[in-house]
Amino acid sequence: MAPAMDGIRIRGGKPLTGRVRISGSKNAALPILCATLLSDGQSLIRNVPDLKDIETTAELLETMGRPCDAAPPMVAVHPGAVTPEAPYELVKQMRASVLVLGPLVARYGKARVSLPGGCQIGSRPVDQHLKGLEALGAKLRTEHGYVIAEAPRLRGTEIVFDVPTVTGTENLMMAAALAKGRTTLVNSAREPEVVELARVLNKMGAKVRGAGTPVIEIEGQDELAPFDHAIVADRIEAGTYMVAAAAAGGDVLVEGVPVDDLEALVAKLRASGVGLEADGNGVRVVRGKTLRSVDVTTSPHPGFPTDMQAQFMVLMCLAEGTSRISETVFENRFMHVPELRRMGAEIEVQGHTAFVRHVTRLEGATVMATDLRASASLVIAGLVADGETIVRRVYHLDRGYEHIEDKLGAIGADVTRVHGLAG
């Protein structure tokens, strides 16, 4: 029998009003938790979001021998004897587990890490991570689904990424921080989470320059110190609430928005007629009378984030005209489209582009998504739709949105968690 699962029930049609505070960034916290492996002492990480992926990473560190007090918003990673091995059972739950590979081989001279497989949004290879580690002098082999990396001491070198990869850049920055000599990473990812990791590595005593640009230089050190760091706000959570407020209508102050990291989204929201006003460290979102369709193409930062594509598509369903949304980062990231269609959306997909036609209303339905951001888009659709929507498989949302039903409830949405839905 299929396992029982939680879902989110939304009674749509209520405008959102009030304030919502943005939590710490998931995708910044994950590599930073892995960076604790680069030093032996106790590191403290603050403003950590209370999410399943954080729990999984803490479990991974514990399994490897580093006890954790994971009590978000604080996580303490204690000293311990490390077995440099990441088992399949944990990596399969979270692809970002591959981020332990660089730190382990740099600090312990050896790592055995289960290779992540494909996932719902694409094949997502890790060849760039592996190619970079080899260039740093690691000997790699794969055995029974695991990559085994060995190197008595990594040596700095120049590495040119074929594609800018976020976790690939992070993995190699961490490895290079303990390598002998200087490493230059060319065609690096420029995402704010890479910049945040560089801040932490610099706190640990590494010399990292250029993070946030395509060329990052890392002066390797013989050892690194533990750190104490508060994680930046989550730009994707912030963007999701901004789009939710714009789609549902009303007047919401989204507090703690890292607005400089959201320029591409802010520009598209403004162009579509959404009112955005800076207010203290927040952004007030007021939906204009009519929404206009705009075209969007996802690309690496500072372009329009792939992690906002699904949510923005719901807004475009409500905009006058036809919007063309192209996904260039992942090959299979339109899994929300058939579910949105079941709610009355008129969307046609041709290759990597979705044509989104204006509809006057969406209808509540039972829907299911297969990844985190697609699930968020269905929640937003549910907020807008007439009647009741149930978004099944809420565990996807729990990986990336802290206490989503409480946060939406506090700004006037009728959202409840329902337990025990069949498979």
Residue 393 is a binding residue for ligand EPU (CB under 6 A): no
Given candidates 27, 36, 43, 377, which one binds ligand EPU under the rule CB under 6 A?
A: 27
Question: Are 356 and 363 contacting, i.e. CB atoms less than 8 angstroms apart?
Answer: no
Q: How far is the CB of 278 from ligand EPU (least distance, A)?
A: 25
Q: How far is the CB of 341 from ligand EPU (least distance, A)?
A: 22
Q: Which stretch binds ligand EPU (CB under 6 A): 126-134, 198-206, 265-273, 402-410?
A: 126-134
Q: Which of 255, 284, 286, 257 is nearest to 273 (CA)?
A: 286
334 vs 349: CA distance, rounded Å? 8
Q: Which of 184, 96, 105, 91 is nearest to 138 (CA)?
A: 105
Scan residues 185-244 and list those touching ligand EPU (CB under 6 A): 189, 193
Binding mask of the shown chain, residues 279 to 308, with x at each position contacting ligand EPU by CB under 6 A? ---------------------------xx-
Q: Which stretch binds ligand EPU (CB under 6 A): 103-111, 137-145, 162-170, 338-346?
A: 162-170
Scan residues 339-358 and list those touching ligand EPU (CB under 6 A): none
The residue among 73 and 303 lying less far from ligand EPU, judged by its C-beta, is 303
The residue among 202 and 332 lying less far from ligand EPU, judged by its C-beta, is 332
Residue 25 is a binding residue for ligand EPU (CB under 6 A): no
Q: Which of 44, 38, 55 is nearest to 201 (CA)?
A: 38
The residue among 313 and 365 lying less far from ligand EPU, judged by its C-beta, is 313
Q: How far is the CB of 82 from ligand EPU (least distance, A)?
A: 22
Question: Are 391 and 20 contacting, i.e. CB atoms less than 8 angstroms apart?
Answer: no
Question: Are 390 and 12 contacting, i.e. CB atoms less than 8 angstroms apart?
Answer: no
Question: Are 356 and 316 contacting, i.e. CB atoms less than 8 angstroms apart?
Answer: yes
Q: Which residues are catalytic?
A: 119
Given candidates 13, 137, 282, 400, which one binds ligand EPU under the rule CB under 6 A?
A: 400
Question: Are 99 and 86 contacting, i.e. CB atoms less than 8 angstroms apart?
Answer: no
Angle between helices 26-35 and 235-248 (to 10 degrees): 170
The residue among 39 and 375 lying less far from ligand EPU, judged by its C-beta, is 375
Task: Name the strands in the sheet holding 146-150, side by side, starting at the edge strand that comes first in the sequence.
Answer: 85-86, 110-114, 146-150, 139-143
Scan residues 370-389 and list those touching ligand EPU (CB under 6 A): 372-373
Q: Which of 24, 113, 13 is nearest to 381 (CA)?
A: 13
* Sign of the dihedral defined by the CA atoms of residues 368, 369, 372, 376, in that order: negative
The residue among 294 and 329 lying less far from ligand EPU, judged by its C-beta, is 329
Given candidates 69, 89, 127, 320, which one binds ligand EPU under the rule CB under 6 A?
A: 127
Amino acid identity of residue 47, one-letter, is N
Q: How far is the CB of 372 from ligand EPU (least distance, A)?
A: 4
Residue 129 is a binding residue for ligand EPU (CB under 6 A): yes
Given candidates 35, 111, 126, 362, which one binds ligand EPU under the rule CB under 6 A?
A: 126
Given candidates 8, 10, 16, 30, which one binds ligand EPU under the rule CB under 6 A?
A: 30
Residue 317 is a binding residue for ligand EPU (CB under 6 A): no
369 vs 374: CA distance, rounded Å? 6
Task: Name the strands in the sheet holding 274-279, side by side, starting at the edge strand that comes first in the sequence.
Answer: 16-21, 250-255, 282-287, 274-279
Given candidates 146, 227, 241, 330, which one binds ligand EPU under the rule CB under 6 A?
A: 330
Residue 71 is a binding residue for ligand EPU (CB under 6 A): no
Scan residues 92-111 and list those touching ligand EPU (CB under 6 A): 96
Structure tokens at 119: 């996932």
Number of residues forming the site for ligand EPU (CB under 6 A): 24
Residue 128 is a binding residue for ligand EPU (CB under 6 A): yes
The residue among 34 and 415 lying less far from ligand EPU, judged by its C-beta, is 34
Q: How far is the CB of 334 from ligand EPU (least distance, A)?
A: 14
Which DSSP string corresponds to 255-288? Answer: ET--GGGGHHHHHHHHHTTEEEEEETTEEEEEE-
Q: Which residue has the tokens 């039972």?
A: 366
Query: CA 59, 61, 63 angle in degrees (round to 5)?
Result: 65
313 vs 337: CA distance, rounded Å? 9
Residue 122 is a binding residue for ligand EPU (CB under 6 A): yes
Would you tell me which residues interact with ligand EPU (CB under 6 A)? 27, 30, 96, 122, 124-129, 163, 165-168, 189, 193, 306-307, 329-330, 372-373, 400
